[in-house]
Amino acid sequence: MIHLGCAGWSLPRQYADAFPAPGSHLQRYATGLNAVEINSSFYRPHRPETYARWAASVTADFRFAVKLPKHITHELRLRGAMPALETFLAQCGRLGEHLGCLLVQLPPSLDYHRETAWPFFADLRARYAGPVALEPRHDSWQAAQSMLTDLQIAQVAASPSRFDTDAQPGGWPGLVYWRLHGEPRIYHSAYTDAYLRCLAEQLQRSHAAGVPTWCIFDNTASGAAVGDALRLQRYLR
């Protein structure tokens, strides 16, 4: 399955007809797309009961990607983060089988130092065996490829690209995770049909190779994400 969705399940009015089912925004969203990225966990914690309620709101094949808190990635900068990480995993773990992936987004100012990165990601791996995708934003993380492969962590394919090697999936090849923020105006711009058709071909190739494949649209600021996801969905079909 290709896990296709948006960063959040807000449904702009212009796409309401594509999600006609009754229920909450999440219930309606889950009738049209099969994945979502929870970004709000980056800004604030959610109670375990909240995650459990979200899991109960979706179909059996629906999956959530959950973003690590900024307290871990941006404030602690991966150091001394295990108590906070364990709390976060206990919370989002209530998604159960609907927890599809963890997303680790790093700040642009955080460069790669193996002596910091390896202990954090090794400890994460000791506590969580499921898929993990990393979105670094400093070009020094190009040197982290062997570490990511060893720990089975994928590097996000990001749009717009921040450095030479992040326009395509990297790190561990057993997971593909595309994260599309909008171009040319980040978080706002919709993607062209030509871009989405090319992207559909790339997603289909990784899926055909048996690699779990994710594609998340984060160009939500002007409502483009849902429209892009629905157009891409048609091209995948």
Position of tokens 């796409």? 15
Other Cβ atoms less than 10 A from the Cβ of 28: the count is 18
Residue 1 has pLDDT above 90, yes or no: no
Q: Give the tens place of pLDDT for each residue, 18-49.
A: 999 899 999 999 999 999 999 999 999 999 99
What is the pLDDT averaged over residues 172-200?
98
Interval 214-219 mean pLDDT: 98
Query: Residue 102's domain is classified under what CATH number?
Result: 3.20.20.410
Q: 97: domain range?
A: 2-236
pLDDT in tens, 61-77: 999 999 999 999 999 99
pLDDT the model gives residue 44: 97
pLDDT tens for residues 164-183?
A: 999 999 999 999 999 999 99
- The CA-atom distances, in angstroms, between 99 and each of 1, 58, 108, 131, 195 are 15, 12, 27, 9, 29
pTM summary value = 0.97
Cis peptide before 69 (omega within 30 of 0): no
Mean pLDDT over residues 171-198, rounded? 98
Tell me the residue type at 106: L
Confidence band for 158, pLDDT divided at 50, 70 and 90: very high
Q: How many domains does the chain have?
A: 1
pLDDT confidence of residue 194: 98
What pLDDT does 21 receive? Answer: 85
Residue with tokens 């994400």: 225
Q: What residue type is assigned to position 102 of the chain?
A: L
Residue-wise DSSP of 118-131: HHHHHHHHHH--S-
Concatenated DSSP letters of 202-235: HHHHHHHTT--EEEEE--TTTTHHHHHHHHHHHH
What percent of the chain stands above pLDDT 90? 97
Confidence check: pLDDT of 102 > 90? yes
Q: Is 140 helix (H, G, I), strand (E, B) or coil?
A: helix
